[in-house]
């Protein structure tokens, strides 16, 4: 098993599961026990201030909450860019990772450059993600800071595929329903 931690999983055209159709997932952890990721391109209609006012010292209260995945949809996970990694974070790549659940309020705000809140996450059991990758459900691409905090979340799927180039750039321009072409 080769870890894909810090990579983006871009939903392939054959992945029709409505939880993951045309999604871009940042893999935060991937080891023998399974994998954890956050869907980066599914903003909700709810703001941080409305749903999780405790996060206002850390995040703009007007910022939208994102739907991180179908697992534990009522749990809040904060993805952040850190000035310096601390024990309060699980880093996915570079200085981007998630805040630990046992972080104190001081740890939550200290050293965080930017952040985004997610409801739920994507999760895979042992070997499950490896099987999906072998089957071609996902297209891998290294994550970049702009992906994690994209201001155009709705366009992220096409943006990442276009960046990958070649036939992936063609796929990025494919209509949602190819029969309508």
**Which pLDDT does position 99 carry in this prediction?**
85
**Which pLDDT does position 86 carry in this prediction?**
67
**Which pLDDT does position 181 carry in this prediction?**
53
Tens digits of per-residue pLDDT, 107-144? Answer: 556 678 889 999 999 999 999 999 999 999 999 999 99
Tens digits of per-residue pLDDT, 148-181? Answer: 999 999 999 999 999 999 989 988 887 776 655 5
Do the beta carbons of residue 104 and residue 58 sit within 8 Å? no
- The answer, yes or no, to whether residue 29 has pLDDT greater than 70, is yes
28-57: string of b/e by CB count within 10 Å (b at 16+)? bbbeeeebbbbbbbbeeeebbeebbeebee
**Which pLDDT does position 24 carry in this prediction?**
98
What mean pLDDT do residues 24-43 have? 97
Do the beta carbons of residue 24 and residue 8 sit within 8 Å? yes
Non-local CB neighbours of 158 within 8 Å, separated by 6+ positions: 172, 173
> pTM of this prediction?
0.92
- The answer, yes or no, to whether residue 14 has pLDDT greater than 90, is no
Do the beta carbons of residue 26 and residue 177 sit within 8 Å? no
Q: Which of the two residues, 104 and 27, has the higher pLDDT score? A: 27
How many residues in total does the chain contain?
181
**Which pLDDT does position 84 carry in this prediction?**
75
**Which pLDDT does position 111 carry in this prediction?**
76
| Alpha carbons 65 and 77: distance in angstroms, whole number | 10
Using the structure block, give the residue that is written with the tokens 């992220």.
Answer: 156
Using the structure block, give the residue that is written with the tokens 């599961």.
Answer: 17
CATH of domain 7-180: 3.40.1740.10
Tens digits of per-residue pLDDT, 61-114? Answer: 999 999 999 999 999 999 999 887 666 678 899 999 998 765 555 555 667 888
**Which pLDDT does position 87 carry in this prediction?**
64
């Amino acid at each position: 098993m080769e870890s894909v931690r810090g990579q983006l999983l871009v939903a392939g055209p054959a992945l029709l599961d409505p939880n993951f159709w045309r999604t871009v997932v940042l893999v935060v952890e991937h080891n023998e026990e399974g994998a954890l990721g956050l869907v980066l391109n599914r903003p909700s209609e709810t703001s941080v201030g409305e749903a999780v006012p405790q996060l206002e010292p850390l995040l703009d209260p007007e910022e939208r909450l994102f739907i991180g995945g179908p697992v534990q949809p009522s749990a809040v996970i904060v993805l952040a860019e850190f000035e310096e990694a601390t024990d309060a974070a699980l880093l996915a790549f570079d200085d981007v990772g998630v805040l630990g659940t046992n972080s104190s309020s001081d740890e939550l705000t200290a050293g965080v450059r930017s952040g985004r809140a997610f409801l739920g996450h994507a999760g895979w059991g042992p070997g499950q993600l490896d099987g999906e990758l072998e089957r071609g459900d996902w297209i891998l691409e290294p994550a970049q800071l702009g992906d994690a905090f994209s201001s155009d979340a709705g366009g992220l799927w096409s943006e990442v595929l276009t960046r990958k180039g070649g036939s992936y750039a063609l796929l990025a321009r494919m209509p949602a329903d190819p029969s309508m072409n």
